Amino acid sequence: MVRKLLASAAIAVTAFVAGTAQAEMSYKPLEQDPKEINFGFISTESTSNLKEQWMPLIKDMEAALGMKVNPFFAPDYAGIIEAMRFGKVHVGWFGNKSGMEAVDRAGGEVFAQTSKADGTQGYYSHIITNVANKNINKLEDIFKCDKSLNFGIGDPNSTSGFLVPSYYVFAQNNIDPKKCFKTVRNANHETNLMSVAHNQVDVAANNSEQIGRSKLKAPEAAAKIKIIWTSPLIPSDPMVYRKDMSKELKSKIKAFFLGYGRLGDVAHAKDVLSHISDGQGPFMESNNTQLYPVRQLALFKNKLKIEGNSGLDAQEKATKISEIDKQLSDLAIMVAAQ
């Protein structure tokens, strides 16, 4: 009976993902394995900072694979998703929300995820303000909604900068940011942190990794940050590659990541990883199931939006909510089975 339930739920989730991909846009199939690997990076901070962190790993990846590996940067998360969709990016470092988009719309497949140096996994979304701001010390202090505050939110495809605060901070409190704040500005984590530190925005979404990195690289700015809200734990970032590359090439790529910091020159690899983000450890094996929690969040957020939509008639609203409840039920079975 349990097997039948799991099989049914798996089919439903697969159908949901396939339907999403078809409804959005199909990806361009690869005609053959790439001669060079293009490695995409979501824009959590400036390109120069990302290059500094990741180029040593890229050089080691080139040596391990015996082929050229090119870093690929874009000004926003969508640029990396679209690049993977059209076969311009073959491997990428994503957040869970952008990873979900890459899987659903860009022919992506999760194969590994990041970890911390101590082996722990996961990070947190935060809402931050300037430490000198004595009027804002908790979430309720930003919900006066008199359009006196400027709010910095993350990229629309960011998990910690957009999806998580959109659900936990705003949707669950029936707050519309556009109606609540004077301005709502999209920016990457680094920019939002610096904007709060220099009083260019009053409040912003951020995450524990960016704050940790800023304490190392920009301690004066980090000292000006005050955290007023912390989310539940978010799964560590997924590493995604194009699923239509050959099994041989995918196996080589996966073997490099899972062996990095565990095999060969371990001391060197661990040193390289320690300088990525707020300090990473070896990569852990993963797959598309790590995206289930973010799928649940996206569905919950959509459900709240539908429930609050006065423009829908009762029957249409009930039908849409019933469809989402079915998808949430199927996902709950899959999450429980992990």
Q: Is residue 285 part of a domain?
A: yes
Among all chains, which residue has been given the structure tokens 């993963």? 286
Res 204: pLDDT: 98
For the segment 207-255, what is each residue's pLDDT rounded down to a tens digit?
Answer: 999 999 999 999 999 999 999 999 999 999 999 999 999 999 999 999 9
Q: What are phi and psi of 263, to 5 degrees?
A: -125, 160
Domain boundary among 190, 209, 230: 230
Identify whether residues 169 and 204 lie together within a single domain.
Answer: yes
Residue 73 domain-assigned (yes or no): yes
Q: Has residue 332 been placed in a domain?
A: no
Q: Is residue 170 part of a domain?
A: yes
Phi/psi at 27 (5° precision): -95, 160
DSSP collapsed to 3 states, 6-43:
HHHHHHHHHHHHHHHHHHHCCCCCCCCCCCCEEEEECC
DSSP string computed for 40-63:
EE--SS-HHHHHHHHHHHHHHHHH
* 36 in the same domain as 110: yes
Name residues whose C-beta falls within 8 Å of residue 2's C-beta, 6 or more positions apart in sequence: none
Same domain, 150 and 169: yes
Q: Among 181, 212, 230, which residue terminates a domain?
A: 230
Q: Say how far residue 27 (Cα) sits from the centre of its chain.
A: 20
**Contact in structure between 226 and 128 (CB atoms under 8 Å):** yes
170 pLDDT higher than 90:
yes
- Does 195 map to a domain? yes
Can you tell me the distance from the alpha carbon of 143 to that of 331, in angstroms, rounded to the nearest whole number? 32
Same domain, 134 and 223: yes
pLDDT over threshold 50, residue 4: no
Residues 244, 98 share a domain: yes
Check whether residue 101 and residue 148 sit in a common domain. no
Q: Same domain for 165 and 254?
A: no
Residue 44 to residue 193: CA distance in whole angstroms: 11
**Residues whose CB falls within 8 Å of the CB of residue 292, separated by 6 or more in sequence, listed in order:** 13, 331, 334, 335, 338
Tell me the CATH number at 202.
3.40.190.10
Q: Are strands 284-285 and 183-186 parallel, antiparallel or unpaired?
A: unpaired
The pLDDT score that the predictor gives to residue 25 is: 54
The beta strand positions in the chain, using DSSP E, are 37-41, 69-73, 91-93, 108-113, 125-130, 150-153, 183-186, 203-207, 225-230, 238-242, 284-285
Q: Are residues 47 and 108 in the same domain?
A: yes
296 pLDDT above the threshold of 60 = yes
Residue 307 has pLDDT above 90, yes or no: no
Is it the case that residue 23 has pLDDT exceeding 50? no
- Owning domain of residue 155: 125-230
CA 248 to CA 246: how far, in whole Å? 5
Q: pLDDT class for 304, splitting at 50, 70, 90?
A: confident
Instruction: Report how many domains make up the chain.
Output: 2
Long-range contacts of 176-182, Cβ-Cβ distance < 8 Å, separation of 24 or more: 177/151, 177/153, 179/145, 180/142, 180/143, 180/145, 180/147, 180/149, 180/151, 181/145, 181/147, 181/149, 181/150, 181/151, 182/147, 182/148, 182/149, 182/150
Query: Does 115 lie in the same domain as 130?
Result: no
Do residues 59 and 188 share a domain?
no
Q: Examine residue 269 and state whether it is found in any structural domain, yes or no.
A: yes
Q: pLDDT tens digit string along 127-150?
A: 999 999 999 999 999 999 999 999
Given a cut of 80, whether residue 6 has pLDDT beyond it is no
- Give dist(CA 97, CA 208) in Å, integer: 17
